A and B are shown apart, each in its own frame.
Chain A
């Protein structure tokens, strides 16, 4: 059991956040070790099956099925899990392994939980007076998954529910333990925090085929490639001419004038360092080639096809400058 203790004692290290790749696999190995272990042993329902709880359930659900009322009433089968819930006083019957697994996930930054799947089979009706007991096992712990809510691990448990000792139903339950994405699905009303460690925009991939383009950007010149044989212009930079195949080329400097040929407004998904919604334009340069960039100086929802724009260079951080286009022509 030494290993288990080691697994829990994370010393507050946000393992999955601070390390990537290989360590994510190692982390998954540690949590997958909980598969097959007990999630709850000899749990006892806090209340026996009873008419008041059945009635409250039916009221909430708007369920008027006659089988759930009157003498001879049975509980709605879908209440199965409700009889096993800890309520406000909590789950006294969760196993050590289950608590350890959750502590490990919490410690790695996966602090939020949401239920995603519930599969129940009903073997015999639950009647008022039945005492509920249950046992549960951790069936699986998924590798790290990225979902709309955030990144995390799915944990599946399978519970056997007994009524007066007789198997009455099975309940397979899947939850996602996740680290919430920074942005809620509606804008956060609070002002953004000035964050020293704010995520930076992705770096361009600079290679021998496009290095000249980025050298131009550094010198505040937007350079278009021109074929050395047929004189076709091309952007982005490529090693050969798409028209004639020639590898010969030189460059011409863009005048900086252009128009919005097309655009999209990004709302979702959010990326670190970008603040949606924002407009991404396909800009047609006066020279006839097109490039993708941000349209600035105009709200995202006021960008229009045909809008005149003018090249400028945006200082993104101390090592990155990008060509962007300001609405309104002359800039």
Chain B
């Protein structure tokens, strides 16, 4: 007899338990998490495992890998330790990835939320601005910004954030447009809740899952953009970054390819880990999308 309406189903396990259960169902996502953990460990242990400045001369120039255990992954043409560069580079890449993504997401969420929630002329104005940004190729805009602001690491990070906010803004706007018509928003309005609270407390939490997933994509893209800048010798020369190392390794690509290949592999694995992570988050946060 199912007529009794007053009993409640037994409690579900807490949210994070459910989340982990769904996440680990995707094996590739677990691999992504492991790779990500490795990168984080590298960044954290950079000063412990391989002490010393990665820009300092550590041995004979162009020592191949696995020859001298002082410099296990070899040295570049100036005698700098490649392994130490890779470890310290992980710090820079993660820093840029996280900060630039935060900048992009914050700008994107604010603009997208306002445009999507209010609609009308607010939407028109904000979307035209977004389109203006979108018409300029990302990398060209990034080069222009770096050329204006200079190539200090803080400015580079900010510039990467500024060129990548348009896609999340459009996404947030679409989410808000569909969510603002839902009855729970009407219910909140009917209770006398203010617009700001409705936007940030009622709608935003419901719009977050796709944004979180997309954030992993932005993070991967920011790391690539920083590497590309460094490759063009526009990166901050005071920090060892993977892009810098590839850029300098280019000169000896024929004689000592490992100088460019090793940091290249590091970039590939980091970006791969973010994209697998994003896929796993998508499965875990939007369980209804699958099946």
Chains A and B form a bound pair:
no
